[in-house]
Structures are given as structure tokens and as C-alpha cells.
Amino acid sequence: MRVLALILTALLVGCGSYPRDVDGTLEDIENSGELHIGFAAIHHGDESEARDLVARLERATGARAKIDRGSTELQLARLQQGAVDLVIGDIDPKSPWMTEVTIVDPVTPRWAGDRVLGLSPVVANGENRWVGVVEGVVRDMQKASRK
């Protein structure tokens, strides 16, 4: 019985904190105090909400944001390479990038034909703790806009 207890304890210690970030994005943000964000194709009416999203993410992480602007393809490639922690922009949820990144629900959804576009944060796949933080901030923004 004692051996079983030791084995179970060892297994639990090995589990650590879940969810995890494969590349440690959230830990890097918290340790460096910097949040690297790429703005991509932000609809002209969404600029203030993009800034609000950034401010909320800064509060959630305790980090200061550094923003870079560029095309959607450039920013998504930079995300995949680890040059930015997050991309914010008008991202089509049916984008070919869908298999490479995690597109969070849009803060400001709007219909574009048969697709829902809008100001969406995008995170590298596998960064599950970081995705959780971003999704929580987006949910708070969505709740606040419904009030």
C-alpha cells in the first residue's frame, strides 16, 4: 500500500500544472514582462477594441505590450516562428492557417457573406495556458459589450 502511495505521489508531481504551453509562451511573457503582439488587417472600426484587448491582456499578464503592424500572412508566419506571442486582426476562421494556429472567437463578430469575421486574437498551437488567458479576456470583453 505504501509503495502504491509513493507511485501515485510521483505521478501527480510529474503532472505539474495543466494546461501547459508547449513552447512556454505565457511563462516567457510573465518572466520578461513583455507581450509581443502583431496587428494584422484590423478593420478600421475595430482599432479601439483592439487597443482595449491589448490593455486587458496587459492587466491579465502584468506585461507591457509591444505592437508591430504588418500583413496577415507576415504576422501569422511571425507567430509560428515565435517572433510574436499573439496576432490580432480580421482572421477568417476557415483560413488555411487553421491547422497551424488557434483562432480565438472574435471580440467583434460580423458577417462577411457566409463567414463570421471580426477582431480575433490568434495564438500558436500548443500554447494552451496562453490560449486560456486570451479566451478569458475575450469572454470578458464579449460580456461587457452585451451589457
**Domains of the chain, residue spans:** 20-146
Residue position matching grid coordinates 484590423: 42
For the stretch 32-50, pLDDT in tens is 999 999 999 887 888 999 9
pLDDT of residue 1: 53
For the stretch 48-63, pLDDT in tens is 999 999 999 999 999 9
> How far is CA 98 from its chain centroid?
14
For the stretch 73-129, pLDDT in tens is 999 999 999 999 999 998 877 788 888 899 998 888 877 788 777 889 999 999 999
Does the domain at residues 20-146 carry the CATH identifier 4.10.320.10? Answer: no
pLDDT of residue 17: 54
Beta bridge partners of 124: 101
User: Residue 67 contacts by C-beta under 8 Å, 6 or more apart in sequence?
Assistant: 37, 38, 39, 54
- Per cent of the chain over pLDDT 70 is 88
pLDDT at 3 > cutoff 80: no
CA proximity to 101, closest of 114, 112, 90, 91:
91
